[in-house]
Structure 1
Amino acid sequence: MNLYKALQLQSGNAICYSGFRQGQQPGGEYPTYQEVKEDLELLQNHWKYLRIYDCDLHAKTVLKVIKKEKMNFKVLLGAYIVAEMNNFGCPWGGVYSEEILKQNKKYNKAQINKLISFANQYPETICALSVGNEACAEWTDHYVSVESVIKYVRMVKNGAKQPVTFCENYVPWLNKLEPLVAEIDFISIHSYPVWEYKNIHDALQVTQQNYHAVASKFCHKPVIITEAGWATNSNGNGILPHNVSEELQEIYIKDLMKWSEQEKILTFVFEAFDESWKGSNDAMEPEKHWGLYNENRNPKLILKNKNFFY
């Protein structure tokens, strides 16, 4: 089902945005109003939709800038919910004390209430809401039960008017998330061929297969892609170093955007800017290198092509 028609949204390019620069990170130093303004001025000519992950100070600044500077963005705003259950299958953690899990449930409820508050404060800017990000995957370090996600969806739908979704890797949508589908307004999937050790020649086909596997299972519900991208550096941690580069990123993103435009599938490219705070202390950690711009806001190869958006 086509999201644009179902939810009466205009078509447009979409990108995931997190503006943390060198020395900044969630819970620490946040991007300033001026820094966010500079970022959005870079993005505004070619991107209509922004995905924001959290209802923290950064999200508050982004929404302020868009409104005060009269920018034309529409925002898919998320609440970042944290672990409510232990996940012993997570390779890098995911196990917490009962006290922390109890505190996390209170934190998550507060985040959902913030999401509702922002939605009502910025109804012209915020076009859709997500109650979480990758919180049900088998490998996640912030595991939340499907039942809890459903509870949060109902809270948001009772408190805000925007359509509601949950952003997750494509795999859980094919099994455990089936009870959630009836509760949300549209399905949001993530597709990362490079994380699955696929080469560039197979990459778009893999994303197409991911999309159609979910869309064909739930043909009555709109499906969008809220993350798809290609890293430009790797230390070998989960991604083979020879399988990432600016040249390969350019090929995949171009193919992805051409296909999604032809098929009228709203697709959020991951992501706008590199973020050095992510992952390990290794500068070549792949989590740091997904941006179409580097952390200094210099464009990578894909954006140096003047015909990219045309």
Structure 2
Amino acid sequence: MKNYLKSLVTLLVILMVVSCGKNSKKEEQSENNENQMTTSKELTAADILGNPKYLAMSYGGYRYPDHDIEPTIDELKEDMKILSSMGIGIVRTYKVHLPQAANLLQAITELKEEDENFEMYVMLGIWIDCKNAWTDQEPDHTVESEANKPQVEEAVRLANKYPDIVNVMAVGNEAMVHWAATYFVQPSVILKWVNYLQDLKKSGELPKDMWITSSDDFSSWGGGGAEYHTEDLEKLYHAVDYVSMHTYPYHNTHYNPEFWIIEDDEKLTEIEKIDAAMLRARDFAKKQYDSVAGYMKSIGVNKPIHIGETGWATVSDGFYGDEGSRATDEYKEGRYYQLMRDWTNKEGISCFYFEAFNEPWKDSKNPMGSENHFGLMTVDGIAKYAIWNYVDNGTFEGLSRGGNPITKSFEGDMEALMKTVSVPPTTE
């Protein structure tokens, strides 16, 4: 009997140890599963927009004056690696009917498969035109182009194919502003397609966390003249998930130069005059942002406002060069870029800075045209002054563009750079 009891006790102890071990393994496995779910959870637009850990950038990968030459998957992956190294977490595209949009999403997917820690999200742009846009016929701004519907359908297809990457959709790019005389539409057209996409979210045909907006000039969002203050614009405010507005002090150095022209104060050095002008440029952008916020408040709407575009060119033989407003050079671009990042990061505003790389197709007949030179980096991978610090810090170590290592413009010679910098015009 004693031996029996002794054996029974030993058996019970063994069972308890085994049981505890199983429970411990279950708890460990459960904890691992929870951790895996946490780390693999894809972020939504609400998580990213306004989050300085995910800087925003406008992106076009076209490297040649001929816009028909599409960037390859490898070239797109090359660009995404460069931007990711700079802390860019979301890029904005513009047209879905061209191969770049789909290829970019495929490139990001491949990068994520190659590196589980790689992250990049996309604000997918849907181009919107009026009837007869970009033709020899008179544009009809009251009727939309038949090409709009296929654009929307393709955007929906891509958003559903890549739900882990696409978390924002923008209906139109500067599609309502009246100075876009070649193609602008009435707000009713944008409203129609925004509502269409919102209905797809409700029916489960688009991810429910997708944010829908339209990306347009500050004036189109009610921050300008009263001619934009329409009933359809108010309805659009209620329909979008957030407002994506554009502001360009750079262009306004020519068109509205009051903030730019300086009084010739002999007490200030030339660099002090330039730095003061760049502060005024930043404040000009703030003023346009505030004008949109003010209009939104006046119609009883409370939505996030983010900057869909702003930027500063580094070359111009036109309005903005030495014969014009003298706004154009790398030093001013660098100051503007840093001032805008500092302000928007502090205030929780996403700023899709325009743009990552020069795109020579934009004014292909004039290589010195400012539209070709808004990039923070040249086509050949030369980092402009705005991002010299990344080169200095080794951020681009091992990265290249078109086979070229990332190096500094002017070979990093600040004195040589400053010889290209002009003081803004004076009141005289």
TM-score (ref. length: structure 1): 0.88
Partner of 1:267: 351
Structure 1 residues 245 and 238, CA, compared in 2 at 3 Å: closer, same or farther?
closer
- 1:204-238: per-residue Cα shift (whole Å, max 9, x none)? 00111111111233241110001011110111146
Offset, 1:117: 0.9
Matched, 1:246 2:316: no
How far apart are the structure 2 equivalents of 1:124 and 1:5? 9
- 2:187 aligns with one of 129, 133, 146: 146
Q: Give secondary structure in 2 for the equivalent of 1:182.
A: helix
User: 98, 103, 120: which one pairs with 1:73?
Assistant: 120
Distance 1:265 1:106 in 2: 35
Inter-partner Cα distance in structure 1 for 2:106 and 2:198 = 24
The one of the two structures with greater contact order (alpha-carbon pairs below 8 A, sep at least 6) is 1
What are the residue-to-residue correspondences of 1:9-88 with 2, within 5 Å? 9=48, 11=51, 12-25=54-67, 28-45=68-85, 46-55=87-96, 56-70=98-112, 71-84=118-131
Matched, 1:131 2:171: yes
- Equivalent residue number for residue 183 of structure 1: 239
Higher helix share: 2
Q: Which amino acid aligns with 2:220?
A: P
Q: Which residue of 1 aligns with 2:216?
A: 168
| Aligned residue number for residue 291 of structure 2 | 213
Q: How big is the shift at 1:115?
A: 0.9
CA contact (8 A) 1:6 1:222 kept: no
Give the superposition deviation at 1:178: 3.0
Cα 1:131–1:67 change in 2 (3 A) is same
Residue range with higher mean Cα deviation, 159-168 or 171-180: 171-180
User: Radius of gyration: which is bigger?
Assistant: 2
- Is the partner of 2:239 in helix, strand or coil? coil
* Structure 1 unaligned residues grouped into runs of 5+: 87-92
Question: How many angstroms apart in 1 are the aligned matches of 2:132 and 2:319?
Answer: 26
Name stretches of at least 5 consecutive residues in structure 2 with no aligned partner: 1-42, 113-117, 201-205, 223-227, 254-259, 261-276, 396-428
Q: Distance in 2 between matches of 1:292 and 1:241?
A: 21
1:94, distance to aligned residue in structure 2 (A): 8.2
Work out the number of aligned pairs and report it: 298
Cα RMSD, aligned residues only: 2.7
State the Cα distance separating 1:166 from its structure 2 match. 0.2
1:302 aligns with 2:302: no
Give the residue type in structure 1 aligned to 2:154: K
1:95–1:211 Cα change, 3 Å:
farther
Match of 1:90 in 2: none
Aligned to 1:185, the other structure's residue is in SS state coil
Q: What percentage of residue pairs aligned between the two structures are identical? A: 28
Q: Verify: 1:202 aligned to 2:280, yes or no.
A: yes
The CA distance in 1 between the partners of 2:171 and 2:283, in whole Å, is: 29
Q: 1:221-266 CA distances to partner (integer Å, 9 max, x unpaired)? A: 1100010111101111466362110000000000000011110111
Give the AA of the match of 1:294.
T
